[in-house]
Amino acid sequence: MLNPQEIELICSARHGDPFSVLGPHAQDGGLSIRAFLPNARQVEVIDACSGHRLGMLEKHHPDGFFEGVLALQASAAYGLQVQWDNYQTALIEDPYRFGPVLGEVDVWLLSEGTHLRPYEILGANQRVMDGVAGTSFAVWAPHAARVSVVGDFNVWDGRRHPMRLRRECGVWEIFLPGVALGARYKFEILAADGQVLPARADPYARQAELRPATASIVAGMPALKPPSNERRQANALDAPMSIYEVHLGSWRRILDPASGWQRWLNWDELADQLVPYALDMGFTHLELLPVSEHPFDGSWGYQPVGLYAPTSRFGDADGLVRFIARCHASGIGVLLDWVPAHFPTDAHGLGNFDGTPLYEYADPREGFHNDWNTLIYNLGRTEVRNFLIGNALYWLERFDVDGLRVDAVASMLYRDYSRKPGEWIPNRHGGRENLETIDFLKRMNDIVVQERPQAVTMAEESTSFPGVSRPTTAGGLGFHYKWNMGWMHDTLQYMARDPVHRQHHQGEMTFGLAYAFSENFVLPISHDEVVHGKGSLLGKMPGDRWQQFANLRAYLGFMFGHPGKKLLFMGCEFAQLREWNHDQSLDWHLLDDPQHAGVQRLVRDLNQLYRATPALYQLDFVPAGFEWMDHQDAAHSVLAFIRRGLDARSFILVVCNFTPTVQTAYRVGVPQPGEYRERLNTDSAHYGGSNAGTPLGAATAEPVGWHGQPQSLLLNLPPLATVVFEWTA
């Protein structure tokens, strides 16, 4: 019989190797079968094939430890007929008779750091073992003294299902027969110091409860989505990309009659409403603020706990799959905000996961974000890189996401980010760069290119770190695109100035062209510009109501003419008056006002013009696609430039007047003779403007040299407006 001390350790849930005790064990005379079943009165062994009774197990501990020796082969399949204290009976499978969950190759790849899809074996995965259906559980917790699965299926009792430790890779595993989809669960961890930690959610869970509940939920695996050449072309560097950035919880809400509260739309409702809206507005892509599970609404998803679980706020993973499929069927791409920069300290999350700093750096000078009160991933750890790179592929391959916009890259790249001297630890060379992050980002981007070449990655990187959107083979980080935070800051600063002062700050609008082709830039007017007391985009514009709207329209026209892909946060497309509030729907009623409706019509027309005009997107990232006609007329706050596409014979002329004065008979140099026809005028009455401009919307070039060009046009420039002309021979 078993050593009483080991029995006591099993009963108190302090045995570190339960499979060495529980289940079947060959010995002289047959098979010793041991089971720990709290609240059981008696246990009988049943032949799994015939249903015949094979023998009783003897109770050796009042808490429910049973043992017996039966004349069976070691490989015998059996079940346990249990009579509980309430005299009810149940036939159950013994999880301790099943072999290991992880295969040897999986263990090797996990340890080596080359398992690209660890989510296929870690977490909760439905499977069949020895002909029995159930769920396998596996979690990385190398320093734990004991890990148990707790859940609906075992009354959340950590004594009932302690797991097996695979010491080769630090993963605890168990197969639980009969556990089905929808079961709630967590991991109960006994730390090495003897402390039972608060139950942890599964880092690899594919579904989680809606806050404030925190359990993980056994969920199915979305099917792999086949590659698409159509999506690859739509995401290419020379394709039009106009992104509508959306916070799903506040884009639009509807009244719930039962509660009287405005509720979120679910995935199918979003597919029915958001997709047609984006299509009608002419956007090429949606970018969703993070949809990974997060406990606090006010983080907007940027403090995720469940990176693999689509938030339950809008429905389940299947709903998200349907939503993305609807987007693609409409020709709209889907980008996700993705957060490998930090994670929150919630007790059920990743922090101090097994009683030690596992996912985060141990030293707070490396592992804690002072700005956000969050923890920082230790990207020097093989298993952490596995976790994050696997997550990137999970979204791209299983949900068919077109790309990932990586949040807060600058905070990842620098060890002294937002830290005073003495509050950070230099790298091994004594520098401030985080070398582990650089290696991680390069590897992540390389793997995306290798495994999902149709997808793109974007970096929100606010510094001048070199080569962010250059291939790793050329020494870059390997992103496809980089947000141009400098352009956004400078140009909004200019637009906020009273027009009378703009003549002294013309460089704020032109400086972006000094470095425009050093990276593959996205021009972002994002959610960050309309929160935290910054006001709305319209509210940044100076002057009376008419001038505010005119300034905004002129700015949007300038943005769409400027080199770089476009991004606009929801609400900006119709000039929302108030600052964005994540707890409220956008103010759609403003579209009853002609001025707001005019801005919306302008954005729709800008998108249509942009998508229909290769000169505005094909050569975004090479100098040949752009040429200044004039950027020196600061006295009149006028800018004029040309955009070209692959067909050098066609081009677009963009002229901006950032004063409230009509500039009559204004001469602009052009490179070719012929007619220049107005394609768009942000001062059109159709958009709420004054309808000023060049008579008949066209001008013919004259052989008068100007701005270094052999030809020139005489134009009437509308006040606070951008005008786009197309050259025709």
The question of whether 587 is a catalytic residue gets the answer: no
The question of whether 297 is a catalytic residue gets the answer: no
| Domain end call among 97, 126, 142 | 97
Of 293, 360, 400, 460, which one is the catalytic site residue? Answer: 460
Q: Are residues 696 and 607 in the same domain?
A: no
Looking up residue 681, the CATH number of its domain turns out to be 2.60.40.1180
Q: Are residues 644 and 707 in the same domain?
A: yes
The neighbour count for residue 170, using CB atoms within 10 Å, is 18
3-state secondary structure of 671: coil
pLDDT at 73: 79
Looking at the DSSP bridge assignments, the partners of residue 184 are 217
Q: Are residues 267 and 210 in the same domain?
A: no
3-state secondary structure of 132: strand
User: CB-based contacts of 439: which residues, under 8 Å, 6+ apart?
Assistant: 379
Q: Are residues 33 and 84 in the same domain?
A: yes
| Domain end call among 591, 615, 639 | 615
Inter-CA distances, 712 with 62, 481, 671, 699, Å? 98, 36, 8, 10
DSSP 350: S
Contact 10, 55 (CB under 8 A): no
Q: Are residues 560 and 602 in the same domain?
A: yes
Q: Are residues 259 and 387 in the same domain?
A: yes
Q: Which residue range forms the structural domain that includes residue 477?
A: 239-340+379-615
Q: Which token pair is 689?
A: 């403007």
Contact 287, 246 (CB under 8 A): yes
Q: Is 478 part of any domain?
A: yes
Question: CA-to-CA distance for 699 and 655, rounded, in angstroms?
Answer: 13
Q: Are residues 535 and 480 in the same domain?
A: yes
Of 202, 337, 407, 519, which one is the catalytic site residue? Answer: 407
pLDDT at 2: 80
Q: Are residues 176 and 299 in the same domain?
A: no
pLDDT at 118: 96
| Domain end call among 587, 615, 643 | 615
pLDDT at 466: 95
pLDDT in tens, 589-611: 999 999 999 999 999 999 999 99
What phi, psi does 285 have (nearest 5°)?
-140, 150
Q: Is 193 part of any domain?
A: yes
Q: Which token pair is 28?
A: 């002289």
Q: Which token pair is 44?
A: 């009988």
Q: Is 277 part of any domain?
A: yes
Q: Is 90 part of any domain?
A: yes
Q: Is 354 part of any domain?
A: no
Q: Are residues 673 and 595 in the same domain?
A: no
Looking up residue 58, the CATH number of its domain turns out to be 2.60.40.10
Q: Is 224 part of any domain?
A: no
Contact 212, 176 (CB under 8 A): no
pLDDT at 49: 86
Of 348, 461, 327, which is closest to residue 401 (Cα–Cα)? 327
The residues of the chain scoring below 70 in pLDDT are: 1
Q: Are residues 454 and 543 in the same domain?
A: yes
Q: Which token pair is 726?
A: 């197309």
Q: Are residues 500 and 581 in the same domain?
A: yes
Looking at the structure of the chain, the number of domains it has is 4
Q: Which token pair is 218?
A: 């056994």
Q: Are residues 542 and 653 in the same domain?
A: no
pLDDT at 1: 67
pLDDT at 51: 87
Looking up residue 594, the CATH number of its domain turns out to be 3.20.20.80
